[in-house]
Amino acid sequence: LVAVDTLGLGIGRVKGIQDKILERLGAPEVLPRERLVVASTHSHAVPDSIGIFGEEGVDKDYLAWIEVQAAEAAVQALLAAEEAELVVTHGDAPELVRDIGATGVTSFAMELLPRISRAQSMDALSSMATIAGYKAVLLAAGALPKMFPMLMTAAGTVRPAKVLVVGAGVAGLQAIATAKRLGAVVSAYDIRPAVKEQVESLGARFVEVELKAGDAEGKGGYAKAMTEEFYREQRELLAKVVAENDVVITTAAVPGKKAPLLVTKDMVKGMAPGSVIVDLAAERGGNCELTKADETVVAEGVTILGPTNLPSTVPYHASQMYSKNVSALLAHLVNHGVLELNLGDEITREMLLTHGGEVVQPRVRELLGLPAKASQTEEITSDG
C-alpha cells in the first residue's frame, strides 16, 4: 500500500514520493490536504496504482480509501462518488460517521484497534505516538535556551537540562528515550505503577508520589479516567517536581475523553523563566491549563507548545508507518479480493464504525443519541 495523506503538507518531494510516480499519475507536485485522497485501486493490500482526488474530482478506479486527518470535504466527495466499499477513518467526528453509515459504506476507526499481540502490525496509534514523542523532545530542545547534554569545556562545565515526561505510554517512552540520547537528565511520572520498569529500562528516574491510584489501567493497557479529586491531589504532589525541571512533556490522554488537567497556571508560575512545556494532549484540551492548540504561549517566562499533529512534521516515516498499519488491516479484512467481515473476530468487531447502512460502534451511537445496538457475531462477505 502506498502513501496516504497523514500530513496536510501536500505530496511530492515533501513526502518523499518520487517524481516519476507523480508524473505517471499526472498529479501536481503539491495538493492541499482537503483535496487529496490516496487509495488502493483494489480491495486487497497490494495496489498497482494510486487514486487521487484532485481539482477535477474523484478517480473512481478504487474500492478502498485511506484517510488519516479529518479531511471532511474529501470524505464527503468520496461518498458522493458512490464508488467506495471501505473507508478507514476515525471515530472522533460522530456526524461524519453518521453520514458515512447512511451511504451504506463500511468503515473502520484505526484508534479502536484492540491492544492484542496479533494486532500489533495494525497499531497506527502507537506508530504516530512514537513519532510524536520523538518530535516533542526536538521541539523542546529548540525552544529551551539551554543545551540538553552536560558539557565540560575550557569555559567551564555546562549542566545537563532536566526533563520530566508525564505519561509513560508509547509517546512518553519515546520522549524519554530521545531526551536521554540528547544527554538530558530525565524523570517520568505515570499513574500506572506497572510502567516503572519500562521507564527505568530507558535510563530515566521514575517519580513516585504518595497517591492511591488503585486500578489506574484501563482496557488495552491505557490509563483510565480518574476522579477530579484524584487529579487535584496529583497536581498538588507534582507541583514541586514540575518546578525542578527545565522541560515538561505531557502525554496523558484517556481514549475518547477530555485530557486530564495536570499542570495548572500556578504550577507554570513556579517554573523557572525559560522553561518549556510541550503538551501532546493539546488536541483533547491539553494537560496544561494554559495550552492553546497549535499555538505557542509564553506565560511567566515559560514557553508552552501545543502541537496537535506532530507526525505531519516527519512526513516520510509517518506515511511509511501508517500505510503499513493500514495494509495490515486490509490484509486482515480481505481474502483473495473479497471483503470478509467476521464480527466474531475481536479486531474486526472492535474497529467497525459503520456497516449495513447504520452506525454500529457503541460510543459513537451514544454520542449521536442513538439507542444501544445488540452485539453481532455473524460473518459478512462482500465481493465488492
pLDDT digits (tens, 9 = 90+) for 278-299: 999 999 999 999 999 999 999 9
The residue annotated as part of the active site, out of 5, 59, 123, 246, is 123
Residue 264 above 60 pLDDT?
yes
Give the three cell numbers for residue 360. Answer: 454500529
| pLDDT at residue 31, rounded to an integer | 41
Distance CA 205, CA 302 (A): 24
| pLDDT at residue 15, rounded to an integer | 43
| pLDDT at residue 333, rounded to an integer | 87
Distance CA 149, CA 155 (A): 15
115 is catalytic: yes
Query: pLDDT tens-digit profile of 26-58?
Result: 444 444 333 333 433 222 332 333 333 333 333
| pLDDT at residue 372, rounded to an integer | 85
Using pLDDT thresholds of 50, 70 and 90, give the confidence band for residue 68: very low
Residue 304 above 90 pLDDT?
yes
Distance CA 254, CA 192 (A): 13
126 is catalytic: yes
The residue annotated as part of the active site, out of 35, 115, 181, 363, is 115
Q: Give bridge partners of residue 66 from the DSSP assignment.
A: 38, 88
Reduced to 3 states (helix: H, G, I; strand: E, B; else coil), residue 64 is: strand
Query: pLDDT tens-digit profile of 160-218?
Result: 999 999 999 999 999 999 999 999 999 999 988 889 999 999 999 999 887 665 555 55
The residue annotated as part of the active site, out of 18, 120, 121, 201, is 120
Distance CA 140, CA 150 (A): 17
Average pLDDT for residues 335-359, to the nearest whole number?
89
Residue 325 above 90 pLDDT?
no
120 is catalytic: yes
CATH 3.40.50.720 residue spans of the chain: 132-313
Average pLDDT for residues 262-282, to the nearest whole number?
96
CB of 326 within 8 A of CB of 124? yes
Give the three cell numbers for residue 278. Answer: 510541550
278 alpha-carbon distance from chain centroid = 15
The residue annotated as part of the active site, out of 76, 181, 222, 376, is 222
Reduced to 3 states (helix: H, G, I; strand: E, B; else coil), residue 231 is: helix
What is the pLDDT of the chain when averaged over all its residues? 78
Query: Which ranges constitute the DSSP H helices of the chain?
Result: 19-25, 72-81, 94-102, 124-143, 170-181, 196-201, 228-243, 265-269, 315-333, 346-351, 362-367
Residues in the chain: 384
Residue 6 above 50 pLDDT?
no
Distance CA 177, CA 249 (A): 13
Residue 345 above 90 pLDDT?
yes
Distance CA 180, CA 161 (A): 10
Architecture of domain 132-313: 3-Layer(aba) Sandwich (3.40)
**Sign (positive/negative) of CA torsion 6, 9, 10, 14?**
negative
Give the three cell numbers for residue 66. Answer: 485511506
Give the three cell numbers for residue 175. Answer: 520522549
Average pLDDT for residues 331-352, to the nearest whole number?
87
CB of 291 within 8 A of CB of 299? no
**Which residues, 6 or more positions from 253, have their beta carbon under 8 angstroms from its beta carbon?**
167, 259, 280, 281, 284
Give the three cell numbers for residue 196. Answer: 516503572
Give the three cell numbers for residue 83. Answer: 464508488
Average pLDDT for residues 256-260, to the nearest whole number?
84
| pLDDT at residue 73, rounded to an integer | 57
| pLDDT at residue 79, rounded to an integer | 67
The residue annotated as part of the active site, out of 49, 76, 126, 320, is 126
222 is catalytic: yes
Phi, psi of 104 (to 5 degrees): 90, 5
CATH class entry, domain 19-121+314-382? alpha beta
Q: How far is CA 265 from CA 189, 290, 313, 331, 373, in A?
A: 19, 7, 29, 48, 43
Angle at the Cα of 14 from the Cα atoms of 11 and 19, rounded to 5 degrees: 65
- The C-alpha cell 476515525 sits at 90
